[in-house]
Amino acid sequence: MSEDLHGNVPDSFPVALVIIDMINDLEFPEGEAFLEPATRAAGKIAVLKEKARKQNIPVIYANDNFGRWRSDFTEVVDHCLNDGVRGQPLVELLRPNSDDYFVLKPKHSAFYATTLETLLEYLKAKRLILTGISADVCVLFSASDAYMREFQLYIPSDCVASGSAQHTQETLEYVERVLSADTTPSDQLNLEELCRTGE
């Protein structure tokens, strides 16, 4: 097997930041309920992302294609920024950088039928910081798949959101109890410590 994924992946790194479904138009029936908590989470994720980039932590966007099977990630970003959609504030806060990674996912989990597992394998990542929406569906399903693949999980409590605060809180309690996830808020997360290669 190629060690460098044909030159398209950086040197191996023990941690990756995964941003789930935040490039989102929120144009679905429950979207209004998501807007405030998701925007609040987006602000926290944006700060965490900048800190991660300073530590050279790879940033991976795992995003639905919203049924646009002929679209690519750039088109999804452009749609959210330029078509007057409800979710525009999220994308303005979390506009991808040119060196970020992305995977388009057809279902809830960021792992299902995507290239995420292959990318993480070549990065040699052992720890995942999962953020995004919705906490109780796509983040939870992605966390479950990551747990079964023996990743150490960090799900900052202020970097996930869902349609209700109750659903978010119940999910955080579940991932702590069942998936051994660390839900320390993002401003208390020691990224330098996570980047150390030792177990």
* Count, residues in the chain: 199
Report how far residue 134's alpha carbon sits from residue 3's, in angstroms, rounded to the nearest whole number: 34
Q: How confident is the model at residue 198 (pLDDT cuts 50, 70, 90)?
A: low
Report how far residue 160's alpha carbon sits from residue 136's, in angstroms, rounded to the nearest whole number: 9
Q: What is the pLDDT of residue 12?
A: 80
Q: What CATH number does domain 15-194 carry, 3.40.50.850, 3.30.70.360, 3.40.50.720, 3.40.50.970?
A: 3.40.50.850
Res 78 pLDDT > 60: yes
Kindly give, in sequence order, each residue whose CB lies less than 8 Å from that of residue 177, ignoring residues fewer than 6 positions away: none
**Residue type present at position 64:** D
Break the chain into its structural domains and give their ranges: 15-194
Report how far residue 166's alpha carbon sits from residue 74's, in angstroms, rounded to the nearest whole number: 33
Tens of pLDDT, residues 142-160:
999 999 999 999 999 999 9
